[in-house]
Structure 1
Amino acid sequence: MHEGLLRAVGATTAVYGLAVTAWPALLAKPSGLAEADGRVASATRTSLRPLAWRDAAGGLALALAPTGPALRTAACVRIAADFGDAALLGVTLPGRARRRAAVAVSVGWGALSVVGLLWPTAGRAAQGA
């Protein structure tokens, strides 16, 4: 397991989640969920904030979990959330380009966590495992 990579993913997604919780337009606009004039409807802001809060909480868990089973569990939750986002946003966002971008971003973050989780530790790599 590459603890540094997992913690970096966690910290980054925590900051992003907190930012989107405060300013839902950060996610709404690139996702095509803003109005034509750029405003974000109240219902959209209300819907995006729990998603962003989930990212903040999951990111904090990944950044702060003790090394070992807790960190592995936090990584698996992060991976499930990212791949779930890819699956759901990839079929529901308006516009093909936005759906593709959402899938690419979500799969990219999930893949970073997979790499961090599966990365061999220095001791195992030196032993040939």
Structure 2
Amino acid sequence: MRSLTSLHGAATAAYALALVVAPGLLVRPSGLPDTAATRTLVRALGARDAVLGAAVAVAPRGRPRELAAAARVLCDVTDAAVFPLAVPGPARAAAVAASAATWGALALAAAVLDRRAGR
């Protein structure tokens, strides 16, 4: 069985690549202004997450995968704390924070479950 952490990393990379190609996937629901600068920022975040997701997906079992997953979790935590500050309106800000926190929680849960299962 593939590790849950690797599967989560692949899902992260796929979603992140979608943001690089189509930043509107994040721009529109977040309520950020649809400008060239915003799209560039979303593409940069997507590129970061694609690289981290791919690293998590292909990292060998043990410490390398755990470190890659920890980096993924820390990025999601910082996204959950900072990104909502730029989003207009408390409801959208809460949704953005919840989304980033959920991705981070899933990454952490996958890593913990894999470690317990010896994957």
Same structural fold, with TM-score higher than 0.5 when normalized by the shorter chain: yes
State the superposition RMSD in angstroms: 1.7
Offset, 1:59: 0.5
Out of 60, 69, 81, the residue aligned to residue 63 of structure 2 is 69
One-letter code of the match for 1:63? A
Structure 2 partner of 1:14: 13
**Structure 1: distance between partners of 2:5 and 2:88:** 31
Matched residue SS, 2:19: helix
Segments of 5+ residues of structure 2 without an aligned counterpart are none
Structure 2 partner of 1:121: 116
One-letter code of the match for 2:39? R
Q: State the structure with more CA Rg.
A: 1
Segments of 5+ residues of structure 1 without an aligned counterpart are 35-39, 124-129
TM-score by length of 2: 0.90
Q: Which runs of 4+ in 1 moved over 6 A?
A: none
Identity of aligned residues (%): 42
Offset, 1:90: 2.7
Matched residue SS, 2:3: helix
TM-score by length of 1: 0.83
Offset, 1:107: 0.9
One-letter code of the match for 1:74? A
Give aligned pairs, total: 117
**Structure 2: distance between partners of 1:41 and 1:4:** 39
Q: Contact conserved, 2:72 with 2:104, CA < 8 A, in 1?
A: yes
Offset, 1:116: 1.7
Structure 2 partner of 1:89: 83
